[in-house]
Amino acid sequence: MTSAEALDVRRLGRVSYRGCLEQMRALVDARAKGAIRDTLLLVEHDAVFTAGRRDAAEDLVDTSIEVVQIERGGRITYHGPGQLVAYPIVALEGARRDLHAWLRLLEDVIIDTLSRWTLVGRRDPKGTGVFVEDRKIASIGIAVRRWISFHGLALNVTTDLDAFTAIRPCGFDSDVMTSLERELGAAHTPTLTEVGDVMATVFAEAWV
45, 89, 93, 120, 135 from 11: Cα distances, Å: 12, 14, 25, 26, 28
> What pLDDT is stored for residue 170 in this prediction?
85
The residue type found at 93 is E
Q: Of the candidates 21, 66, 23, 27, which has an alpha carbon nearest to the alpha carbon of residue 47?
A: 66
Domains of the chain: 3-207 (3.30.930.10)
Q: Which residues are catalytic?
A: 170
The distance from CA 200 to its chain's CA centroid, rounded to whole angstroms, is: 12
Instruction: Give the model's confidence band at 180: pLDDT under 50 very low, under 70 low, under 90 confident, else very high.
Output: very high
Model pTM? 0.95
189 within 8 A of 157, measured Cβ to Cβ? yes
In tens, the pLDDT along 24-80 reads 999 999 999 999 999 999 999 999 999 998 878 889 999 999 999 999 999 999 999
Beta pairing, strands 135-145 & 76-79: unpaired
Cα–Cα distance, 7 to 20 (Å, whole number): 19
The residue type found at 117 is W
The stretch 161-178 carries a mean pLDDT of 94
